[in-house]
Chain A
Amino acid sequence: MSKTILSVDDSASIRQMVKFTLVKEGYNVVEACDGKDALAKTAGVKCDMVITDLNMPNMDGISLIKELRQKPEFRFVPIIMLTTESQDSKKQEGKSAGATGWIVKPFKPEQLVSVAKKVLG
């Protein structure tokens, strides 16, 4: 069965790029435009991986990661955050919130695929 990836980003263009890239690799992609939306969409849906932006309205990425890690079904799900530059502080903040890894923007589609393969196996 194809794996489901939740893509959370307030930028429609990034979401489209993420979806296009991952669907081509055979993944199932669920989109959400911010943390709140993501939490609403994950209720009762099994996700194998989450890719989330950090800066978003309503609920930012860090809070989303913390919220997700509270849910039993998301305790061990890989969560990848999208960060700009290599802000170490953000990375650390994300990691301590429970993120598995990160992708630095701007990134190429191949990088996205290789990270997905890395954490999903």
Chain B
Amino acid sequence: MSLDSNQQVFINEATELLQELEESLLELENTPDSSDLIARVFRAMHTIKGSGAMFGFDNIASLVHSIETAYDMVRNNIMDVTKPMLDYSLKACDIIREMLADPDIKADSPLAVEITDYFSRAANIQNQKLPDVQPERDSTARGELHTFRITFKPSLNIFMNGTNPALLLKELREMGSATIITHVSDVPPIDDIEPEKCYLSWDIILTTDKNENDIRDVFIFVEDDAVIDIKAVDEAFDDREKKLGEILLERGCLTESQLSEVLNEKKRLGEIMVEKGLVSAEAVDTALMEQAHVKSVQEKKAHASETASSIRVPSERLDSLVDLVGELVTVQARLSQIAAQRNDADMLKVAEEVERLVWELRDNTMSIRMLEIGSTFNRFKRLVRDLSIELGKEIELVTFGDETEIDKTVIEKLGDPLVHLIRNSIDHGIEKPEERIAAGKPAKGHITLQASHSGDSVLIEITDDGRGINRKAVLEKAKSKGLVAENAELSDREIYELLFASGFSTAATVSSVSGRGVGMDVVRRNIEALRGTIEINSSEGVGTTIVLKLPLTLAIIDGLLVTIGGQFFILPLSIVNECIEFNRSENKSGSGRKIIMVRNELVPYVPLRSFFNIKGEEPDIQQIVIISVDGRRVGFVVDSVVGDHQTVIKSLGKAFKDIDCISGASVLGDGSVALIIDIMKIYNDIG
């Protein structure tokens, strides 16, 4: 529905009204005293005028305006209906019909003017102009930040006409930063309170980019039912905040001589003034709030203009802080457990408080270690420049998401893999300028580095607009190296996997940059050591994108604690999808395939008990923890699920460094050790 269809409705309605109007006018000729008829005529005129103006028939509206005024006077017995008046009214009906059919007839056409003139004279009124739809208000001082002091004291009966003062305050709050002070001194003792009356009043200190008129507009409906005072408090605002005395002085709560008198005493200014009964305690509080508001606004200003101040701390200190927090998390877990066992209310209370504090401390400490990745990205600009010159290529490095934060240790270990990947892009990906032009691409190649957050991971994408990966060449090479069977048919994904095989390199010649085939497998090992994943997407002739997915932090993760044969294990909670019950007897599959049906979806599963060769009898009812990786779901069968666990990751030490599928260990509240299962490793192994 458009305005046009609104207009159509109006035209139909007006035509009907005109018909009715004519009938009424003719009747009125016979019974000129009928107040009922007069009211009907007035109403018809009124509606035609009001609706006409709304749907773009200003000509009609201005014509009818004078007629309506005349009939209003008749209605109120100031004037009588006369014959010429009815004549002109009927003529008006005709011309309005014409105007409805042809909007181009102006209100100043001769007949229209004649009618208007007649009624104006009859009603002895000036040829009033209709107000414009929305008069433009003075818009001075909008856009800049100003601070206003607003006093809003609604009348006792403000609720009775449907006004909710809280909404007005909300509206003010939405205009900028507001400090709202509620005055309760007028609230009577509880026995005298009438719940339908409003006893409160407010002082609002508002810093906004709107002007005073905009603020007045908020109160437009309550102007008459409330004391509203709006005052700008900007003067001398830039240099310093105002002293309490000055504010009270300005508000007229205090005279200058009173102020200087109290200033001579050495007590706190506000207290003295209240003691002396010069101002109420509430007035002092309000003024103090204003001072605080102004101060905070200024601090914000100062903060924005100044560069963030910081201190340099050796990273070892940070590392040891994180270690200590890790220990603390472990001890806290023990405390919570002991408190729960003893069931001692006092101790539980303390334990809960410690838990809350430790979590906050953990989050804070972790955030200290977060660094923006931008500085790492910038290192590569030089690398790209130097390498591209060496290889005779034109390449530009573009970075996005420089401000993405990631744990310092992750960033440090990320440097080398990224160098490898960028070198690969420069060497294998981006073509020489002449090749690019021949392929219809701009001579200059682009490498894009992009970092972004995704859940509790950080995604880093390295994209080049080069020739892409030649899947056929990769496959040939793999066959010639004996990495895959001669007749193997591989999916794109599997072919890209080959790039990570050790000893694989497609570059025909070994350059100083790449081609020794020690690149990608090392890259992958590094990324996996960070508990991250790497993925390649490529399209021939268009370019290649490599996506690294890395955890935000290494030291502490949210884990899911499970048991198998009395042993504790931890799965990273971030990839856990759901836990469901697994009834072995019900799920005996004749074929021995390890697949279960979850809500009409087939999910393969791995029984971790047999995977880790844990002895003992399987319980009848086990749990399956379902994880989701790359959109694929895999279940892991465990004896039972204990719950979530703040996992402080400890390495297993040198002796166990070659153990597959276990990425570390964590100490539980009771001092026992839980092994952290390297889900990704198992997932990749089972393919």
The residue on A at minimum CB distance from B159 is A76
**Would you call A17 and B54 a contact (CB within 8 A)?**
yes
**Would you call B163 and A100 a contact (CB within 8 A)?**
yes
**Would you call B10 and A13 a contact (CB within 8 A)?**
yes
Task: Return the CB mask of B27-70 against A: 1 if under 8 Å, else 0.
Answer: 00000000000001011001101110111000001000000000
How many Å from the CB of B155 to the closest CB on chain A? 11
The residue on B at minimum CB distance from A14 is B51
Q: Report chain B residues within 8 Å CB of A14.
A: 50-51, 54
Task: Return the CB mask of A84-101 against B: 1 if under 8 Å, else 0.
Answer: 111000001001001111
**Would you call A105 and B53 a contact (CB within 8 A)?**
yes
Task: Give A98 to B131 CA distance when docked, in angstroms.
Answer: 26
B1 contacts A by Cβ under 8 Å:
yes
How many Å from the CB of B167 to the closest CB on chain A? 4
Task: Give A99 to B130 CA distance when docked, in angstroms.
Answer: 24
A12 contacts B by Cβ under 8 Å:
yes
Q: Report chain A residues within 8 Å CB of B61.
A: 106
Say yes or no: A108-B134 contact (C-beta < 8 A), given A12-B9, A13-B6, A95-B161.
Answer: yes
**Would you call A55 and B161 a contact (CB within 8 A)?**
no
B170 contacts A by Cβ under 8 Å:
yes
**Would you call B6 and A104 a contact (CB within 8 A)?**
no
The residue on B at minimum CB distance from A12 is B13
Task: Give A69 to B163 CA distance when docked, in angstroms.
Answer: 13
Residues of chain B in range 1-22 having any CB-CB distance to chain A below 8 Å = 1, 6, 9-10, 12-13
Task: Return the CB mask of A46-63 against B: 1 if under 8 Å, else 0.
Answer: 000000010111000000
Residues of chain B in range 171-197 having any CB-CB distance to chain A below 8 Å = 171, 196
**Would you call A98 and B9 a contact (CB within 8 A)?**
no
How many Å from the CB of A97 to the closest CB on chain B? 9
Task: Give A11 to B6 CA distance when docked, in angstroms.
Answer: 12
Task: Return the CB mask of B102-132 against A: 1 if under 8 Å, else 0.
Answer: 0000000000000000000000000000110
Task: Return the CB mask of A1-34 against B: 1 if under 8 Å, else 0.
Answer: 0000000001111101100100000000000000
Task: Give A10 to B43 CA distance when docked, in angstroms.
Answer: 9
**Would you call B162 and A77 a contact (CB within 8 A)?**
yes
**Would you call B47 and A10 a contact (CB within 8 A)?**
yes
**Would you call A84 and B133 a contact (CB within 8 A)?**
no
Q: Report chain B residues within 8 Å CB of A10.
A: 43, 47
Task: Give A118 to B222 CA distance when docked, in angstroms.
Answer: 12
**Would you call A11 and B13 a contact (CB within 8 A)?**
yes
Q: Report chain A residues within 8 Å CB of B304.
A: none
**Would you call B163 and A11 a contact (CB within 8 A)?**
no
Q: Report chain B residues within 8 Å CB of A101.
A: 163, 220-221
A78 contacts B by Cβ under 8 Å:
yes
Q: Report chain A residues within 8 Å CB of B162.
A: 76-79, 98-100, 119
How many Å from the CB of B501 to the closest CB on chain A? 58
How many Å from the CB of A78 to the closest CB on chain B? 4
**Would you call B163 and A56 a contact (CB within 8 A)?**
no
Q: Report chain A residues within 8 Å CB of B577.
A: none
Q: Report chain B residues within 8 Å CB of A13.
A: 6, 9-10, 13, 51, 54-55
Task: Give A5 to B218 CA distance when docked, in angstroms.
Answer: 21
User: Contact check: which of B46, B55, B218 meets A84 at CB < 8 Å?
Assistant: B46
B164 contacts A by Cβ under 8 Å:
yes
**Would you call B161 and A11 a contact (CB within 8 A)?**
no
User: Contact check: which of A55, A106, A107 meets B46 at CB < 8 Å?
Assistant: A55
Task: Give A99 to B220 CA distance when docked, in angstroms.
Answer: 13
How many Å from the CB of B174 to the closest CB on chain A? 10
A75 contacts B by Cβ under 8 Å:
yes
User: Contact check: which of B1, B42, B54 meets A105 at CB < 8 Å?
Assistant: B54
Residues of chain B in range 123-160 having any CB-CB distance to chain A below 8 Å = 130-131, 133-134, 159-160
B224 contacts A by Cβ under 8 Å:
yes
Q: Report chain B residues within 8 Å CB of A55.
A: 42-43, 46-47
Task: Give A92 to B221 CA distance when docked, in angstroms.
Answer: 11
How many Å from the CB of B589 to the closest CB on chain A? 49
Q: Report chain A residues within 8 Å CB of B166.
A: 121
How many Å from the CB of A88 to the closest CB on chain B? 10
Task: Give A17 to B3 CA distance when docked, in angstroms.
Answer: 8
Q: Report chain A residues within 8 Å CB of B163.
A: 78, 100-101, 119
Q: Report chain A residues within 8 Å CB of B161.
A: 69, 79, 95, 98-100
How many Å from the CB of B471 to the closest CB on chain A? 52
The residue on A at minimum CB distance from B58 is A106
Task: Give A106 to B6 CA distance when docked, in angstroms.
Answer: 14
User: Contact check: which of A11, A20, A107 meets B47 at CB < 8 Å?
Assistant: A11
The residue on A at minimum CB distance from B164 is A121
Task: Give A101 to B217 CA distance when docked, in angstroms.
Answer: 12
Say yes or no: A98-B53 contact (C-beta < 8 A), given A13-B9, A55-B43.
Answer: no
Task: Give A92 to B223 CA distance when docked, in angstroms.
Answer: 12
Task: Give A79 to B42 CA distance when docked, in angstroms.
Answer: 24
Q: Report chain B residues within 8 Å CB of A86.
A: 131
How many Å from the CB of B433 to the closest CB on chain A? 55
Task: Give A60 to B62 CA distance when docked, in angstroms.
Answer: 24
Q: Report chain A residues within 8 Å CB of B164.
A: 76, 78, 119, 121
The residue on B at minimum CB distance from A86 is B131
How many Å from the CB of A53 to the closest CB on chain B? 8
**Would you call B47 and A16 a contact (CB within 8 A)?**
no
The residue on B at minimum CB distance from A96 is B161
How many Å from the CB of A58 to the closest CB on chain B? 11
How many Å from the CB of B20 to the closest CB on chain A? 11
The residue on A at minimum CB distance from B53 is A106
Task: Give A55 to B47 CA distance when docked, in angstroms.
Answer: 8
**Would you call A106 and B221 a contact (CB within 8 A)?**
no
Q: Report chain A residues within 8 Å CB of B55.
A: 13, 17
Extra inter-chain contacts (5) besides given A13-B9, A78-B163, CB under 8 Å:
A11-B50, A17-B54, A76-B164, A119-B167, A121-B167
Q: Closest 7 CB pairs between A and B?
A: A101-B221, A106-B53, A100-B162, A78-B162, A13-B10, A106-B54, A121-B167
Q: Would you give 25 A-B contacts (Cβ < 8 Å), ordered by A?
A: A11-B13, A13-B51, A14-B51, A16-B6, A53-B50, A69-B160, A75-B196, A76-B162, A82-B50, A84-B50, A98-B162, A99-B162, A100-B161, A101-B220, A101-B221, A102-B221, A104-B131, A105-B50, A105-B53, A118-B171, A118-B218, A118-B221, A119-B167, A119-B221, A121-B167
